[in-house]
Structures are given as C-alpha cells and as structure tokens.
Amino acid sequence: MAVNYATPDAHFETLDRAIPEQGDYELAVRHAPRLRFDVREPFLPLAVGYTVIRASGKSPSFPRDIILPPNALCAVEYAIWWDWDIQHLYELEHIWVYLDASENVIAAEASWHGDWHPMVDANGGVPFEGGQVTLYSEPGKHAFAPVIEWLHERQAKTKRSCGPRSGSMGVLVTPLFAGRILDRLPVNNNLVHAYLERHAFMPSYDFAQQFDLATAAFVPWSTLFTWIPERIHWWTEHLRATLPPNQRRPLRIAHRGASAYAQEGSTASVEKASDLGADMVEVDIRVTADNVPVIAHDADLMRVFGVPGLISDLTLAELRAATPPDRQPVLTFEEMAKLCSDLQLGLYLDIKEITPGAMVTVLTVLRETGMLRYAIFGSFRPDLVAEIKANAPEAVTSILFSSANVEPVLLARSVKADYVHPCWERFESPSALLTEAWINSVRAEELGIVCWHEERPHEIAALTALGVDGICSDQPELLVIPRP
C-alpha cells in the first residue's frame, strides 16, 4: 500500500510554503501531470519543486540544458520529491512540460535513470488523459515512461530492485547535493537498508493507482533544494531513534563470492552469491605483469589452479593460457565490476597489491560502470587505504586488522577509513570481543563495523544482534536472517 501523506509528520511541516510569485505557482499547478503507479507501489510523491523557464539555459535541478522550441512560451520544470526510492533514502525525478502562448502543451520530457527522454506515446504525441500529461512511473524506482512497454522491458532488473535489492543503496548523495547531504554514513546506510527491506514488494504491473501531482506540496525549487538536506538528516535521526541495533540490517558480503560452492572469485561464485541473497561480493585484487588488475587472493596460482607461477610475473594473456581446462579463468577487475553491476551487487575490494596505474584503472572502471558508490575499498595495509582515500576522497574505505589488541578508532583516523574491519574468525567467539565499550567508541566516530568470514550460525546471529554493518561469509545464505 502506498504511503499516505494526508497526515504528514511534524518535520514535513517545516517546509516553507511561501509562494513569491503567485502566477508561476498557479501555472505549475494548472499543468501538473498525472502519474500512474503500480497498485503495489509503497511510496508516492511528497513535494514538488517547480521552476518556470522562459529562456533556454541550464536546468536548475537536473544536469541538462533546457532548449525551448521556437513556438514555446515557457517550460515548467517539476522536480518531484519522494522521501523514498525502494533502494535508497530520497528520490528526485523530473518532468518538463512545454507550453505555447495559449498554454497548450506542445511537448513533454521526463527523467529516466539519470538521463531524460521525450515523452511520446504510441501515436507520436504527448501522452494525455483527461487533459493532463499522464506518465507511467517505474515500480519502486519511479523513472518515467510514456508507454508501459518501456517498463516491461526492465522487469527483471526492476523486480530485483524492489525485492532482494531493496534498500541496498542506503543514503543517496547525487552530485547536486555533494557537500550538502552529510548523512551517507555506514550506520545510516544500515538503517535505511533495514527500513526499506520492510517495504520490499513484487510489482504487479497493474498501473491502476493514479496520482494527481497537483495534490503534492508545491514550492519553488530553491525552497525545496534548501529543505532537502534537512529532511534527509531528520530521517536518519528518526531511524536511529526507532530502529535499535538488533533490528538493523548488516550487509551480506559473499567472501570471494559464494566460495563454499564455486571457484572463489569466479563468475560462477558471484552468480551463486546473488542467488543466495548476498548484497556484495568480497574480492581480492592483484596486478599482472602488464599492469592489469585482476581478481585473485593468492600471489601464486598453485592453490586455486594447481599450476606454478606468480600472478605478478605473468601477463594477462599468459595467465589465461595457464588456466587448466577444468578451472574458470581469472577475471579482470573490469569484468568483475560489470558482472556485479548487471547483478546489482556491491563490491568489497580487498586490495592485496596495487600499482599507481592499476589504481587509476580500478577507479576509472568503477566510475564508468557507476559502481564507485557501491564499492568499499579495504586492506590490511594502512598505506594502501590512505592512498586510496587521497586519490579518491569520495571512495568508501575499510581498514582490516587481525589482532584483538588494535585500537580501532586511532587506526581508522590515521588513514581516514569509513569502516573498521576486525578479522577475528579464528577466535572462538568474535562477537564477545565486540564489547559495548568497543562498539560505542567506534560508533562515536561514525565508523562502520564489518566482520568476517563467519559460517557459525550462532555467531552470525550474535553479530547481527549487535548491529554490525556487514558480515562476510563463504556461505552467504547463512547471513539471511528472517525478521519477526
């Protein structure tokens, strides 16, 4: 059932409703589109930041230029706000309606997964119903389409987003809000994941649920832009107050993929991890003789491939040629990133070794595939963690350590890490080492906590109850703990 905003929360009342230009407000409301939602859609729009654009130029709220047609009087830009996308905290989608001097609609455009497209129906015109531009909204994700066929083509990915991947993106920070939204922290991502997992649904593709955008709160875009970071902070504080640690949602990290069932770090192990409910896969990075980052834990090939040779002594071609026929070949980092992107899996990168050139390759691949925001860089080597942060300040990093006597906060501070990662699987009870004082000191610094690799159900349950932010396992299905 869609969220009912008829009785909004107290913080929503802090949105300034002052209208400086009544004519622009009335024009925007008068031409507000109608939206068709899946009948199972849990979230409907809450507010609209409108802008009336009377000259071609850059959009104030979307990375594009607005080009007015010769016969256009203006365009109305609707920046449509949801508190929630099914995968992350907050959603901002856009519709542009172009009007002529008589206020006839002559064109419409809308946002679509970071891009935008003309809204043209099967007859070649703007889709209208009852005198309003009428668009379909993708279940859970809210991208706009002029015809339902666009949404049917994405069903497999959409269903993963609305079901097993619900909440997986945590707190969203787009370039528009870089430096303004400051709440993308490990514990907040954990909270958002837990909240949205409770709203997971299977889309019906029955778009009978209609929403007249004019019923949302309309304010000038500048007002909404100012308010949004405050809204995000209110939500994260609200979730902290209402979701205790034992109700939070640690990331399910598949150790070298589902390595208990398939060759570690292989395509098969990653696909198996996805099938078993993992959120991320942990993979190790090494570098070939020709400076290609590849997925391999060991420096040599003997344990996994049964043949002699060091990865650092072989080119990628030589490495592939040395692979026995009964083994899957070593994946390049680029191949792994694309695979995880297709499966909507995050990447936990254990950096064993890296060269400056290979680091450039890794960062470039992550940016080009859109995976940088879904990756965590980890290493036992503090120098590598510090180097990653220095080269990519936006990258999320984790410092690994095996001793129970390490002071985690001081270590994390020294390399500007976002997570501390105690590798205590050899201990009888890792959860017992995570004392209240230990956890409180880490949380006071807003640091996340990742533990691995754990295959003992009682320990997984204990770590989950403590509210850690991620648990790694060779058997990722053990990390799927049903909620009451």
Amino acid residing at 256: R
Q: Average pLDDT of 228-248?
A: 96
DSSP-derived 3-state class of residue 287: strand
Contacts of 46 (CB under 8 A, 6+ apart): 5, 8, 12, 81, 82, 83, 216, 217
pTM: 0.93
Residue ranges covered by each domain of the chain:
11-245, 250-479
How far is 437 from 88, CA to CA, in rounded Å? 31
- pLDDT at 130 > cutoff 50: yes
Asked if 310 contacts 377 with a C-beta cutoff of 8 angstroms, the reply is no
- Give me Rg for the CA atoms of the chain: 24
User: What pLDDT was estimated at residue 481?
Assistant: 85
pLDDT tier, 395 (very low <50, low <70, confident <90, very high otherwise): very high
pLDDT tier, 3 (very low <50, low <70, confident <90, very high otherwise): low
**CA-CA-CA-CA torsion sign (287, 334, 164, 469):** positive
Q: What is the pLDDT of residues 301-342, one digit of tens each?
A: 999 999 999 999 999 999 999 999 999 999 999 999 999 999
Angle, in degrees to the nearest 10, between helices 382-391 and 408-415: 40
How far is 363 from 347, CA to CA, in rounded Å? 13
pLDDT tier, 7 (very low <50, low <70, confident <90, very high otherwise): low
Tokens 């589902």: give the residue: 258
How far is 285 from 280, CA to CA, in rounded Å? 15
- pLDDT at 412 > cutoff 70: yes
Asked if 283 contacts 266 with a C-beta cutoff of 8 angstroms, the reply is no
Q: What is the DSSP string of 164-218?
A: TTTTTTEE---GGGTTT-----HHHHHHHHHHHHTT---------EEEEGGGSEE
Options 2.60.210.10, 3.90.1150.10, 3.30.460.20, 3.20.20.190; CATH of 250-479: 3.20.20.190
User: What pLDDT was estimated at residue 6?
Assistant: 47
User: DSSP alpha helices (H): ranges in 70-185?
Assistant: 148-152, 155-162
How far is 296 from 355, CA to CA, in rounded Å? 15
User: What pLDDT was estimated at residue 482?
Assistant: 76
End-to-end CA distance of the chain: 20
**CA-CA-CA-CA torsion sign (118, 119, 123, 127):** negative
Q: Average pLDDT of 374-382?
A: 97
- pLDDT at 36 > cutoff 90: yes
Q: Average pLDDT of 210-233?
A: 98
- pLDDT at 1 > cutoff 70: no
Distance of CA 268 to the CA centre of its chain: 24
Share above pLDDT 70 across residues of the chain, in percent, rounded to a whole number: 98
Structure tokens at 457: 């159900």
- pLDDT at 92 > cutoff 80: yes
User: What pLDDT was estimated at residue 484?
Assistant: 57
> Which DSSP state fits 300?
B
Amino acid residing at 342: D
CA distances from 212 to 24, 30, 133, 271 (A): 18, 11, 10, 41
Q: Average pLDDT of 54-78?
A: 97
> Which DSSP state fits 147?
S
User: What pLDDT was estimated at residue 8?
Assistant: 66
Q: Average pLDDT of 271-283?
A: 97
Q: What is the pLDDT of residues 145-167, one digit of tens each?
A: 999 999 999 999 999 999 999 99
Percentage helix, strand, coil for the chain under 3-state DSSP, each rounded to 5: 35, 25, 40
Give, in degrees to the nearest 5, the angle at Cα 120 between 119 and 123: 160
Amino acid residing at 195: Y
Q: Specify the length of the chain in residues.
A: 484
Structure tokens at 169: 């993106």
Average pLDDT, the chain: 96
Q: What is the pLDDT of residues 461-481, one digit of tens each?
A: 999 999 999 999 999 999 998
- pLDDT at 424 > cutoff 60: yes
Q: What is the pLDDT of residues 279-295, one digit of tens each?
A: 999 999 999 999 999 99
Asked if 440 contacts 469 with a C-beta cutoff of 8 angstroms, the reply is no
How far is 483 from 471, CA to CA, in rounded Å? 17
User: What pLDDT was estimated at residue 5?
Assistant: 47
> Which DSSP state fits 330?
P
How far is 97 from 104, CA to CA, in rounded Å? 10
Q: Average pLDDT of 103-130?
A: 96
Strands 293-295 and 280-287, bridge-based pairing:
antiparallel
